[in-house]
């Protein structure tokens, strides 16, 4: 039983990612995705929300093929980024991951200095001109609203930062690579309200330059940040639409029940 | 540039994988060379001779039974020492000792494991055996018993570290539940913790015994090296000769390719098969608790 | 309160057993230090033995043990660490991996004298390396391998998985992740394991008996194809094969040997505890 999902009213906006009949199954049979069809609009925040185990994170990890590391048993359908199938055997996975950055639920800074955290990805990509690296550091830190706090101690170990600062550093780390798309998997789940506010505020700035896909850690955050929202339940996409409409007048009973807190 | 990088990565990945398989290659190679040099014995020495009770290679007596019985008696003696003391120490460290005592005991036991066996053999000759001779009123202090004492000491660190690991990995909640039901700590140890850790404790005992069977230098130095078939318990207090000591003592003097040479390899083959059996049995117990399998080695 | 009495007796018995287990270790070390300390001198350390080894020093044995340990490290460290990387970073949980683990466990259980036989068969005769430092080092390397593999693997596995995921997510390949993130973080643990493995190799006698150890040499070995004296073998020789051997020289040799081995043990423990204190995860 597949629910018909109306495409968002997106006249005149470019589609960044198209997910077509996408299904996924793990070897241990845990999480699955069933026949997902979803179009993600460029320069907007798309929120994937729903109860735990619904497949949001799995979908997110497919978009930069981080799921290659997991034991995937079956995969079918296509995911197109700028019209190119990312699962094409000839596709450049490393290039894809540079183009599609990711921020994880728990802030994971690499065991090195703040500066090295930011330049790590660039150096792997072969960039070693100091001017370029310095430029990337200041740009990404400013975009992640962290520049003021750390610009005078870039060589300190990143682990010395507070949790909120670490998470913004993680955001800056993916921004340093100048990706097209940023995936955020419950990026504020461990943060205090003030840090959460800072991250959410920078997302609104960032969407001018990037396509943002966010798995929020609460329905409230979903409602606050979403330009577009997709509701996932047990591996199926139940409803997809523009954020305001979906959170005020959901079309599906299940969506309404979840938003109003009847389950989940 | 990018292409070179992936070529380099390709080569390194291959090398890493090849190294991963090296352990299998080496075990196979070892077994192959033992068979290659040891099996000819079966054609050269009659089975009756090989299974006789007389080891006197100069006159072509190749009976390995006295060597097997020597290994057996020394190992049993070592196990009788290492098992109670090893388990006792492990229980003490894991369940009873205060933190500071644990911090002292663990490195000390590790230290014992690191002492070269030749040093223990040396002290066995100079200190232990003369005193034992006087104490037990024996004609010589170089006996199976002396070997057992030292081998026990060598096996203890193996028993302690594996058994302590096993006890340590019993969930806290088991103990809490027993204590909450009114059991004393002593009862908890015997009726809850030890039974829960039994497969690890079993592994500890097996690998400790395996360590004792394979030990060479110490036994060669202190057991008196007399290849006499042990027929009664009194053999514990007379000189014996083990399989390992026979190889170590005689291999240096035989001509390569001679019957004697092949027979020493044959004994090595027997030792290899014994250790294979001990370790496969022990690890089949261990594999059920995966985390411990990795610990066994360290 | 019968039960409490039983408990008290039981605890007393166990602590007595633990004491009996560790007390001799301390006594043995003190005893050797006291007995052997008096002969330790510059001449004893740096001199050659003479007069049927009943006088002089033990320099060739010290140098030999150093060469053998170094030779063992050259072969076993790259191979062992690479094998650990394979098991921790590449291998999936299948039959082949289980076979590898079984092989490692078996390698660790093979009697040291059997390693000696194997080294004699393969390196000395088959590959014709002769009785040499090379043959002995190779033999010791294979014996040391399981210790290095298992401790290194443990150190690699202790590095949080999240570091790997993050590194991959910013475009690193698997090997780049290993080289730039995982290996540096696991390094102290690997070093500890390597030293503990080499400590065992340095103290072993049986594997080198027929593969590279020399009873007596008037000069230092000049190439890897020369046989060599070694501390543990030398101690064996002077305590069993040389009649009327002065007892102080025996104790002195034992003291140098255990100092060598215990120093490695201390370094390993120092590296481990310092890394634990500085660890950020």
All residues at 6 or more sequence positions from B102 whose CB lies less than 8 Å from its CB, including other chains: B93
Please, which residues bridge with residue A85 across strands? A80
pLDDT in the model for residue A38: 92
Rounded to the nearest 5 percent, the helix, strand and coil shares of chain B are 80, 0, 20
All residues at 6 or more sequence positions from B271 whose CB lies less than 8 Å from its CB, including other chains: B213, B214, B243, B244, B247, C111, C113, C114
| b/e per residue A54-79 (b: at least 16 CB within 10 A) | bbbbbbbbbbbbbbeebeeeeeebeb
Supply the ipTM of this predicted assembly: 0.91
**pLDDT bracket for residue C72 (50, 70, 90):** very high
Interval B9-49: pLDDT, tens? 899 999 999 999 999 999 999 999 999 999 999 999 999 99
Average pLDDT over residues B264-269: 96
C55 and A CB contact within 8 Å: no
| DSSP string computed for chain A | -----PPP--TT--EEEEEEEEEEEETTS--EEEEEEEEEETTSEEEEE-STTSSHHHHHHHHTTGGGGS-EEEEEEEEEETTEETT-TTS-HHHHHHHEEEE-SS----SSBHHHHHHHHHHHTT---HHHHHHHHHHHHHHTT-HHHHTT-TTSBGGGS-HHHHHHHHHHHHHTT--SEEEEESTTTTS-HHHHHHHHHHHHHHTTTSEEEEE-SSHHHHHHH-SEEEEEETTEEEEEEEHHHHHHS-SSHHHHHHHTTS--
Say yes or no for a CB contact (<8 Å) between C236 and B121: yes
pLDDT in the model for residue C93: 83
pLDDT higher for B230 or B190? B190
pLDDT higher for A72 or B152? B152
Interval A198-227: pLDDT, tens? 889 989 999 999 999 999 988 999 999 999
Distance CA C6, CA B183 (A): 12
Interval C133-158: pLDDT, tens? 999 999 999 999 999 999 999 999 99
User: Distances from the Cα of A15 to the Cαs of A4, A97, B16, C254, in angstroms?
Assistant: 19, 19, 43, 78
* A106 interaction partners in chain C (CB closer than 8 Å): 162
Shortest CA distance from C214: residue in chain B: B252
| The pLDDT of residue B158 is above 80 | yes
Interval B177-225: pLDDT, tens? 999 998 899 999 999 999 999 888 998 999 899 999 999 999 999 998 8
Looking at the complex, report in whole angstroms how far the Cα of residue C172 sits from the nearest Cα belonging to chain A. Answer: 6
Average pLDDT over residues C33-47: 91
C161 and A CB contact within 8 Å: no
Looking at the complex, report in whole angstroms how far the Cα of residue B227 sits from the nearest Cα belonging to chain C. Answer: 18
pTM for this prediction: 0.89
Shortest CA distance from C176: residue in chain A: A124
Please, which residues 168-187 of chain B have a Cβ atom closer than 8 Å to chain C? 184-187
The class that CATH gives domain C56-278 is mainly alpha
Most confident of B36-50, B56-70, C74-88: C74-88
Angle, CA A141 vertex, CA A137 and CA A146 arms, to 5°: 145
pLDDT in the model for residue A72: 78
Mean pLDDT over the full length of chain C: 92
pLDDT higher for B121 or B294? B121
Distance CA C229, CA C215 (A): 7
User: Distances from the Cα of A179 to the Cαs of A90, A206, A214, C124, C197, in angstroms?
Assistant: 20, 11, 15, 60, 46
pLDDT > 90: percent of chain C: 76
| The pLDDT of residue A1 is above 50 | no
Instruction: Name all domains of chain B by residue range, CATH numbers in brackets.
Output: 39-295 (1.10.3720.10)
Element (H, E) at C55: strand C55-56
| The pLDDT of residue A24 is above 80 | yes
Contact A202, A171 (CB under 8 A): yes
Average pLDDT over residues C1-13: 86
Most confident of A192-201, B49-58, B260-269: B260-269
Contact A76, A23 (CB under 8 A): yes
Average pLDDT over residues C48-63: 89
| The pLDDT of residue B105 is above 50 | yes
Distance CA A63, CA A60 (A): 5
pLDDT in the model for residue B288: 53
- Residue ranges of the domains in chain C? 56-278
B103 and C CB contact within 8 Å: no
- Residue ranges of the domains in chain A? 15-259
| The pLDDT of residue B2 is above 60 | no
pLDDT > 70: percent of chain C: 99
Please tell me which of the candidates B105, B112, B276 has its beta carbon nearest to residue C18.
Answer: B105
* C22 interaction partners in chain B (CB closer than 8 Å): 89, 105, 108-109, 112
Interval A153-180: pLDDT, tens? 999 999 999 988 999 999 999 999 999 9
**pLDDT bracket for residue B138 (50, 70, 90):** confident
* A67 interaction partners in chain C (CB closer than 8 Å): none
Average pLDDT over residues A68-90: 87
Interval A174-184: pLDDT, tens? 999 999 999 99
Q: Which of B116, B249, B260 should one mutate to test binding to chain C, selecting the residue with the greatest count of C CBs within 10 A?
A: B116
* 3-class DSSP string for C194-207: HHHHHHHHHHCCHH
**pLDDT bracket for residue B160 (50, 70, 90):** very high
* B85 interaction partners in chain C (CB closer than 8 Å): 17, 20-21
Say yes or no for a CB contact (<8 Å) between B33 and C116: no
Minimal CA–CA distance to A30: which of A255, A234, A244? A234
Q: For the CA atoms of chain A, what is the radius of gyration?
A: 18
Interval A29-58: pLDDT, tens? 766 888 999 999 999 999 999 988 888 988
Instruction: Compute how many other C-beta atoms are within 10 angstroms of the C-beta atom of residue B75.
Output: 27
**pLDDT bracket for residue B113 (50, 70, 90):** confident
Contact B297, C196 (CB under 8 A): no
Mean pLDDT over the full length of chain B: 88
pLDDT in the model for residue C56: 87
CA A17 from centroid of its chain's CA atoms: 12
Domain A15-259 has CATH 3.40.630.30: no
Say yes or no for a CB contact (<8 Å) between C172 and A124: yes
Q: For the CA atoms of chain B, what is the radius of gyration?
A: 23
């Amino acid at each position: 039983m597949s629910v018909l999902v109306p495409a968002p009213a997106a006249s005149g906006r470019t589609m960044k990612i198209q997910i077509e009949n996408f299904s996924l199954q793990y070897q241990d049979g845990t999480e699955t995705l069933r026949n997902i069809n979803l179009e993600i609009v460029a320069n907007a925040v798309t929120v994937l929300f729903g109860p735990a185990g619904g497949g949001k994170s799995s979908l997110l990890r497919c978009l930069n093929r981080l799921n290659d590391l997991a034991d995937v048993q079956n995969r079918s359908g296509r995911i197109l980024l700028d019209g190119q199938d990312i699962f094409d055997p000839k596709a450049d996975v490393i290039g894809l991951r540079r183009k599609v950055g990711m921020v994880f639920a728990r802030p994971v800074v690499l065991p090195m200095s703040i500066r090295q955290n930011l330049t790590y990805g660039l150096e792997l990509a072969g960039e070693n001109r100091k001017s370029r690296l310095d430029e990337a550091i200041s740009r990404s830190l400013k975009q992640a609203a962290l520049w003021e706090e750390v610009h005078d101690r870039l060589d300190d170990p990143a682990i010395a930062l507070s949790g909120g600062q670490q998470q913004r550093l993680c955001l800056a780390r993916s921004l340093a690579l100048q990706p097209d798309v940023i995936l955020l998997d419950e990026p504020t789940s461990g943060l205090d309200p003030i840090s959460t506010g800072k991250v959410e505020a920078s997302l609104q700035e960032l969407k001018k330059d990037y396509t943002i896909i966010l798995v929020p850690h609460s329905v409230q955050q979903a409602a606050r940040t979403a330009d577009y929202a997709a509701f996932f339940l047990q591996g199926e996409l139940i409803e997809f639409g523009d954020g305001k409409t979906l959170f005020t007048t959901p079309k599906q009973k299940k969506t309404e029940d979840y938003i109003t807190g009847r389950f989940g | 540039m990018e292409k070179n990088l992936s070529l380099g990565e390709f080569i390194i990945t291959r090398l890493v994988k090849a190294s991963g398989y090296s352990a299998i290659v080496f075990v196979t190679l070892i077994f192959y060379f033992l068979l290659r040099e040891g099996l000819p014995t079966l054609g050269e020495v009659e089975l009756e001779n090989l299974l006789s009770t007389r080891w006197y290679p100069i006159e072509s007596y190749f009976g390995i039974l006295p060597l097997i019985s020597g290994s057996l008696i020394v190992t049993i003696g070592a196990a009788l020492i290492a098992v109670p003391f090893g388990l006792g120490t492990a229980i003490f460290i894991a369940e009873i000792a205060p933190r500071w005592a644990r911090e002292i005991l663990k490195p000390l036991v590790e230290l014992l494991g690191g002492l070269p066996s030749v040093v223990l053999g040396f002290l066995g000759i100079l200190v232990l055996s003369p005193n034992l001779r006087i104490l037990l009123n024996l004609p010589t202090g170089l006996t199976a018993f002396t070997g057992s004492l030292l081998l026990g000491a060598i096996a203890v660190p193996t028993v302690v570290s594996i058994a302590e690991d096993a006890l340590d990995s019993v969930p806290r909640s088991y103990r809490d539940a027993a204590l909450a039901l009114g059991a004393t700590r002593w009862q908890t140890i015997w009726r809850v913790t030890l039974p829960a850790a039994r497969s690890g404790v079993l592994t500890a005992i097996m690998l400790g015994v395996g360590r004792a069977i394979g030990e060479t230098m110490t036994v060669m130095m202190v057991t008196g090296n007399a290849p006499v078939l042990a027929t009664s318990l009194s053999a514990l207090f007379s000189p014996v000769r083990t399989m390992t000591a026979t190889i170590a003592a005689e291999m240096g003097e035989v001509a390569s390719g001679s019957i004697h040479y092949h027979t020493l390899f044959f004994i090595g083959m027997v030792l290899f098969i014994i250790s294979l059996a001990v370790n496969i049995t022990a690890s089949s117990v261990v594999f059920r608790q995966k985390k411990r399998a990795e610990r066994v080695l360290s | 309160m019968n039960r409490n009495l039983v408990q008290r007796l039981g605890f007393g018995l166990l602590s007595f057993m633990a004491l009996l287990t560790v007390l001799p270790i301390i006594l043995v070390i003190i005893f050797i230090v006291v007995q052997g300390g008096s002969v330790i001198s510059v001449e004893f350390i740096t001199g050659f033995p003479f007069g049927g080894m009943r006088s002089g020093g033990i320099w060739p044995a010290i140098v030999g043990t150093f060469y053998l340990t170094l030779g063992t490290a050259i072969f076993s460290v790259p191979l062992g660490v690479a094998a650990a990387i394979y098991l921790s970073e590449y291998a999936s949980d299948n039959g082949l991996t289980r076979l590898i683990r079984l092989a490692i466990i078996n390698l660790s259980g093979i009697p040291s004298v059997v390693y000696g036989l194997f080294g004699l068969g393969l390196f000395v005769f088959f590959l014709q390396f002769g009785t040499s430092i090379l043959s002995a080092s190779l033999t010791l390397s294979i014996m040391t391998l399981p210790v290095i593999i298992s401790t290194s693997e443990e150190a690699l596995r202790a590095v949080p998985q999240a570091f790997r995921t993050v590194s991959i997510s910013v475009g690193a390949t698997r090997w780049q992740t290993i080289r730039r993130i995982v290996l540096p973080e696991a390094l102290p643990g690997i070093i500890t394991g390597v030293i503990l493995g080499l400590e065992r190799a340095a103290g072993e006698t049986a594997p080198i008996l027929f593969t590279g150890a020399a009873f007596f040499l008037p000069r230092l070995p000049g190439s890897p194809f020369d046989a060599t004296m070694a501390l543990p073998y030398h101690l064996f020789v002077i305590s069993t094969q040389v009649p009327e051997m002065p007892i102080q020289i025996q104790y002195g040799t034992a003291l140098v040997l255990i100092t060598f081995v215990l120093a490695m043990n201390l370094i390993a423990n120092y590296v481990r505890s310092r890394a634990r204190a500085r660890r950020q995860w």
